[in-house]
Amino acid sequence: MIIDTQSTQYQQYLTGLQNLIDFYKPKFEVFKKLPRSKQALWLEKDPLFRKLIKIGLHVGDWSGQFGAEVQND
């Protein structure tokens, strides 16, 4: 598979992902300290955050197979 990391679209995805990380990282720190009932309410009211959590769950299922090749981020 060839991935053009220099394409405009790829660069936009990369920038967008970094923007999401920057926006949600402090919110996640608050979220993870909340009781489950308040987390559930938050996820109900914030569909983007809910989707990010779902992506994280899917990635978590198989990401344990990776090691040093993903440690440089």
The model's pLDDT over 12-26, given as tens digits with 9 standing for 90+, comes to: 999 999 999 999 999
Per-residue pLDDT of the chain (73 residues; tens, 9 = 90+): 999 999 999 999 999 999 999 999 999 999 999 999 999 999 999 999 999 999 988 888 787 777 766 666 5
Domain ranges of the chain: 34-61
What pLDDT is attached to residue 62?
81
Whole-angstrom Cα distance, residue 46 to residue 50? 6
Q: Are 38 and 30 in contact (CB under 8 A)?
A: no
What pLDDT is attached to residue 64?
75
Burial 32-60 (b: 16+ CB within 10 A, else e): eeeeeeeeeebbeeeeebeebbeeeeeee
Helix spans in 1-73 (H): 8-31, 36-45, 47-62
